Amino acid sequence: MLQSDSQKASPYAGWRRRLYLMLEPTARESPGLSITNCIISGLILLATALTVLETEPVVRALAPSLFVTAEAALALAFLVEYVARVIAAGEDPRYRGLAGRLRFMVSPWAIIDLLAILPFFLTMGAVNAFALRLLKLIRLLRLARLGRFSNAIGDLYLAVRGRRYELTVSLMVAVALLIVTSSVIYVLEASHQPEAFGSIPRALWWSVATLTTVGYGDVTPVTAAGQLFAGLTAIVGIGMIAMPTGILAAAFSDAMQKRREQAENDNSE
């Protein structure tokens, strides 16, 4: 009797296992994506491109029904994928059973998957234009779903997590520089340009634009002392931008090197 029960359950278990291997990148023994995930990645890029193009009235007017039809087809495809992932998640010991499936559904990637398809169903028949645009904007989360297929995203997460102390220090330095520079430029320029530099919060916009080396030019000092200080601030801003960039670049390089060494060790074994 027990043997017959296992034989009855084995076809479903085998089918679910194959589905899990097709959808879960970390379950594959060979490097690269499965054909299924390659197709899903292509659909995500297509859906994102359509979302971007749809915001242009001229393009949308050329074939308005095309966007609606394509969005419906893509939403249906992603819904099928989402249900398939929930079913296949049972192959992971963490997500077995009903409680495990619910745990999977509230995991970060599963939430992104759900948020990426909800707007289509929530905006059907919507009349509020702003709410419609806001919900449709969530569709761009589809692009974030590509992160589950990339080892580089994991390396970036590990890099940020490993250097969180250094990044926190650089953030504190940046905040301090913003406060100091906006305070100094307030003292130098407030009497000459009260609308732009009449308070430290007003001067803060200039500090942000200057220290980040963006330099919009909509607000500029007019006094000699203010212009001299602006030049010094711009130079300091180069270092402020370079500091977290260097930290992240070094951390990301270390993470990639560790992954390569791990791959070489796995191949040698």
Structural domain boundaries in the chain: 2-149, 162-268
Backbone angles phi, psi at 92, to 5 degrees: -85, 125
Q: What is the pLDDT of residue 209?
A: 92
Highest mean pLDDT among 8-12, 122-126, 220-224: 220-224
Q: What is the pLDDT of residue 7?
A: 42
Instruction: Determine the distance from the C-alpha atom of residue 145 to the mean position of all C-alpha atoms in its chain, rounded to a whole number.
Output: 8
- Residue 176 pLDDT greater than 50, yes or no: yes
The tens digit of pLDDT for each residue in 197-235 reads 999 999 999 999 999 888 888 889 999 999 999 999 999
Best CA proximity match to 136, nearest among 119, 157, 158:
119
Taking only Cα atoms into account, the Rg of the chain, rounded to an integer number of angstroms, comes to: 26
pLDDT level of residue 1 (50, 70, 90 thresholds)? very low
pLDDT level of residue 267 (50, 70, 90 thresholds)? low
Write out the two tokens for 30.
């060979």
How large is the average pLDDT for residues 44-52? 85
Please, what is the average pLDDT of the chain?
82
Higher-confidence residue: 264 or 222? 222
CATH 1.20.120.350 fits 2-149, yes or no: yes
**All residues at 6 or more sequence positions from 89 whose CB lies less than 8 Å from its CB, including other chains:** 20, 95, 100, 101, 104
Give the whole-number percent of the chain exceeding pLDDT 70. 83
The tens digit of pLDDT for each residue in 16-26 reads 888 888 888 77
C-alpha triplet 111, 114, 115: angle, nearest 5°: 85
Q: What is the pLDDT of residue 140?
A: 67
- Residue 125 pLDDT greater than 80, yes or no: no
Please indicate whether the domains covering 2-149 and 162-268 agree at the CATH topology level: no
Q: Which fold has domain 162-268?
A: Helix Hairpins (1.10.287)
The tens digit of pLDDT for each residue in 184-197 reads 999 999 999 999 89
Count CB-CB contacts under 10 A for residue 166: 16
pTM attached to this predicted model: 0.62
Best CA proximity match to 204, nearest among 233, 227, 228:
233
The tens digit of pLDDT for each residue in 55-102 reads 788 888 888 888 889 988 998 999 999 999 999 988 888 888 889 999
Is the separation of the CB atoms in 113 and 78 below 8 Å? yes
pLDDT level of residue 134 (50, 70, 90 thresholds)? low
